[in-house]
């Protein structure tokens, strides 16, 4: 309200000045002619001022800097949009990334997203570094991205040229059912609706849906054949018959001999050999059939890339996501891994400094009596502690298969025992009765007969494990240091205001 009052007051003041100005003009006879011209200009000026002071939005300075609040962070020239960040966070509920608290909380409100945002920023830094080093331009990476694009484009091409141009009508389905001897009366009234709602890939015995799938498959195949013929008719195809006649895996010109030209693009003998995959090279019909498949693939590839699918938002986003994912792997393999060096001296020092890590577990010679009843095991334990013969009681009352050997288990590694039994046996002496213990299907009592202390494993048997462990530790240390350096060189801007307001509700299950 105050802003509107200021606008009115300001406008009133301007009008007073204008009236004074026009009054002074009228007082001069010499100003009559200029006044007519000036009057028009004055009207325009009044209109502009009126518009300027009429609303609060225009009361401010018109050239103020606009701020974009739709981002969460900017890393170099890359912008992490707020919507994309929230979408990424929303997916965390399907992983273990946010810990146990997520399973008991109905929303992410109590979680701090700063750490997760740092991870996203680090990933962008890695991608930027790979691009700076030109790793995204290397032939292997370019080929990988090309193949990914091709698969996406071929999927769009099939949807556009096959699926969207094939229609199975109710009349078609009824005619098919009549061929099978199924009358319309035998099909439920909502058969068509059920067919629409049903999973197209799930097994079913519903006649309507079975007929629809059969007809769809037939019509798809017919449309595919027609589309392939259209592609062939639109493209010049030159098959080198002479080259096929001399085709051989031992041909010295495999990598240069042309077997076909499709729309100006060559198919080489080596391409044909790879497509054969070990099949006969001397069957001319097989060679021609295989070559026809190569020609068809070439036609489909050209058609897929000519449709401009890459500009579609969904396709574009998928390609960008794939590139970033692959570049993160490239960063680890090509940038960080070569910097990791583990010397033999370091491996030996670690082995000698940490003997407990390479100690084999102790083993114990034991006898056991196992029964299903708790009261019975307490009675047996009491008798054993009073001097009863362990072997006799084992044969007489144990239900374990070892009863015939007096309950002898032989030498048992401590790692095969539960924590409570291992602890009790380790602290006992030879000849001691240990237990009783509750087990999965009953109760047991044991006698310790002997102990074999653990031994340090030979260096040769653990060297590779130590090398990997030290290498992994160095990898993470170098990775962390490298990212820190990137953070110091690449400009990063975080929208702290937006970060504080982020609150993602956990999607309801089902």
CATH of region 360-452: 3.10.50.40
Percent of the chain with pLDDT over 70: 76
CA atoms within 13 A on the CB side of 237: 18
Rounded Cα–Cα distance for residues 447 and 389 (Å): 11
Q: Which two tokens mark 135?
A: 């790793």
Here the tokens at position 123 are: 């990933």
Q: What is the pLDDT of residues 83-117, one digit of tens each?
A: 888 888 777 766 555 544 444 454 444 456 788 89
Percentage of the chain lying above the pLDDT 90 cut: 45
Confidence of residue 134 (pLDDT cuts 50, 70, 90): very high
Please give the pLDDT value at position 323. Answer: 96
Please classify residue 16 by burial: count the beta carbons closer than 10 Å to its beta carbon, then call 0-12 exposed, 13-18 middle and 19+ buried. Answer: exposed
Q: What is the pLDDT of residues 5-21, one digit of tens each?
A: 334 444 444 444 444 44
pLDDT of 138 reads 95
Q: Which of 56-70, 174-188, 240-254, 448-462 is predicted with the least confidence, judged by mean pLDDT? A: 56-70
Report which secondary-structure segment, H or E, holds 104. Answer: helix 101-104
Candidates 378, 371, 434, 375; CA nearest to 397 is 371
pLDDT of 510 reads 41
pLDDT at 115: 84
Half-sphere exposure of 431 (CA within 13 A, CB side): 1
List alpha helices for 112-267, DSSP H. 114-132, 139-161, 170-179, 191-197, 207-234, 241-245
d(CA 219, CA 224): 8
How far from 329 is each of 126, 136, 293, 423, CA to CA, in Å? Answer: 10, 12, 34, 45
pTM above 0.85, yes or no: no
In the prediction, which pLDDT does 41 show? 47
Q: Please, how many CA atoms are within 13 Å of residue 300, restricted to the half-sphere of its CB? A: 22
pLDDT level of residue 191 (50, 70, 90 thresholds)? low
> The tokens of 152 are what?
């996406």
Average pLDDT, the chain: 81
The SS3 assignment for 444 reads: strand
Cβ-count burial of 73 within 10 angstroms (0-12 exposed, 13-18 middle, 19+ buried)?
buried
- The predicted pLDDT at position 284 comes to 84
Give pLDDT, residue 311. Answer: 93
């Amino acid at each position: 309200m105050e802003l509107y009052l200021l606008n009115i007051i300001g406008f009133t003041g301007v009008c007073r000045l204008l009236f004074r100005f026009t009054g002074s003009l009228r007082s001069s006879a010499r100003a009559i002619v200029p006044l007519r011209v000036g009057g028009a200009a004055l009207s325009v000026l009044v209109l502009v001022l009126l518009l300027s002071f009429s609303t609060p939005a225009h009361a401010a300075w018109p050239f103020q800097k606009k701020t974009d609040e739709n981002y969460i962070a900017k890393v170099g020239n890359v912008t992490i949009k707020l919507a994309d960040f929230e979408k990424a966070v929303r997916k965390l509920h399907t992983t273990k990334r946010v810990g146990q608290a997520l399973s008991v909380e109905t929303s992410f409100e109590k979680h701090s997203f700063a750490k997760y945002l740092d991870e996203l920023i680090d990933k962008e830094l890695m991608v930027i570094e790979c691009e700076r080093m030109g790793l995204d331009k290397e032939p292997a990476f370019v080929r990988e991205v090309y193949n990914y694009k091709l698969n996406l484009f071929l999927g769009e091409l099939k949807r556009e040229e096959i699926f969207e141009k094939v229609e199975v009508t109710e009349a078609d389905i009824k005619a098919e059912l009549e061929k099978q001897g199924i009358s319309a009366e035998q099909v439920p009234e909502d058969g068509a609706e059920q067919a629409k709602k049903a999973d197209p890939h799930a097994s079913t015995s519903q006649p309507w849906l079975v007929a629809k799938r059969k007809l769809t498959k037939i019509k798809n195949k017919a449309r595919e054949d027609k589309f392939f013929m259209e592609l062939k008719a639109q493209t010049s195809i030159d098959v080198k018959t002479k080259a096929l006649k001399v085709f051989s895996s031992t041909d010295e010109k495999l990598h240069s001999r042309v077997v076909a030209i499709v729309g100006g693009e060559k198919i080489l003998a080596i391409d044909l050999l790879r497509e054969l995959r070990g099949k006969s090279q001397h069957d001319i019909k097989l060679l021609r059939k295989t070559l026809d498949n190569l020609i068809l693939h070439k036609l489909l590839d050209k058609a897929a890339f000519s449709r401009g699918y890459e500009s579609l938002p969904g396709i574009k986003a998928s390609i960008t996501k794939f590139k970033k994912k692959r570049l993160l792997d490239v960063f680890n393999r090509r940038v960080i891994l070569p910097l990791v060096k583990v010397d033999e001296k370091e491996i030996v020092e670690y082995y000698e400094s940490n003997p407990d890590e390479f100690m084999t577990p102790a083993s114990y010679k034991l006898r056991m009596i196992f029964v299903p009843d708790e009261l019975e095991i307490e009675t047996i334990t009491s008798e054993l502690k009073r001097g009863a013969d362990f072997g006799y009681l084992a044969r007489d009352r144990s239900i374990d298969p070892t009863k015939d050997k007096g309950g002898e288990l032989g030498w048992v590694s401590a790692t095969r025992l539960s924590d409570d039994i291992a602890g009790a046996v380790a602290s006992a002496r030879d000849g001691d009765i240990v237990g009783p213990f509750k087990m999965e299907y009953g109760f047991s009592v044991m006698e310790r007969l002997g102990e074999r202390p653990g031994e340090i494993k030979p260096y040769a048997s653990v060297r590779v494990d130590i090398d990997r462990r030290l290498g992994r530790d160095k990898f993470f240390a170098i990775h962390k240091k490298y990212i820190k350096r990137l953070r110091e060189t690449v400009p990063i801007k975080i929208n702290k205001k937006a970060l504080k307001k982020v609150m993602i509700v956990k999607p309801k299950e089902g």
